[in-house]
């Protein structure tokens, strides 16, 4: 009887391999979600760090405020929504042939991993003139130098 080419891995080694594979698959799934799919677009973002807060500005021209959703979970801020294509005025029922179509339409989702402790209860967002502004206050213990007295 021939010997098998591979020997079974000990229990702890197989658990370690399984955990590494799980992490790799999670990484690939995260990468897949960050690649735009047909019908999706990624609005440009400005991310600014200030001494007491993180300021995020997202350009969303043509997006209605009620089509935008902002959530935070475990310091991961997610901005998602959609921009609908509207036919030219008076052409709602007739076929339209586009000669040039450069504007993006469809759903979008942006995910930002915040690398600072934040005050989740004080996050605010506003939408004006096609720009979504999100103010994320830092936690008081973040970004400030604290002098610690050294005793004898």
Looking at 2.60.40.790, 3.90.380.10, 1.10.260.40, 3.10.560.10, the CATH number of the domain 39-87+104-137 comes to 2.60.40.790
* Whether 112 contacts 70, CB under 8 Å: no
Q: 50-81: per-residue pLDDT in tens?
A: 999 999 999 999 899 999 999 998 888 999 99
Tokens of 29: 């799934």
For the chain, the first-to-last Cα distance in angstroms comes to 74
**Domain range annotation of the chain:** 39-87+104-137
Torsion angles phi and psi, residue 23, rounded to 5: -65, -40
Torsion angles phi and psi, residue 137, rounded to 5: -65, 135
* pTM passes above 0.85: no
């Amino acid at each position: 009887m021939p010997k098998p080419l591979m020997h079974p891995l000990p229990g702890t080694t197989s658990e370690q391999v399984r955990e590494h594979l799980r992490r790799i698959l999670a990484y690939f799934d995260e990468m897949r979600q960050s690649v735009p799919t047909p019908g999706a677009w990624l609005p440009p973002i400005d991310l600014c760090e200030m001494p007491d807060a993180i300021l995020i500005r997202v350009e969303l021209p043509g997006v209605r405020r009620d089509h935008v959703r902002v959530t935070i979970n475990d310091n991961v801020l997610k901005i998602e929504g959609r921009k609908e294509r509207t036919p030219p005025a008076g052409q709602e029922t007739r076929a339209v042939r586009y000669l040039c179509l450069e504007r993006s339409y469809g759903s979008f989702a942006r995910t930002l991993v915040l690398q600072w402790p934040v005050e989740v209860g004080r996050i605010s967002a506003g939408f004006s003139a096609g720009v979504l502004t999100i103010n994320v206050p830092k936690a008081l213990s973040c970004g400030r130098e604290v002098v610690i007295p050294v005793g004898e």
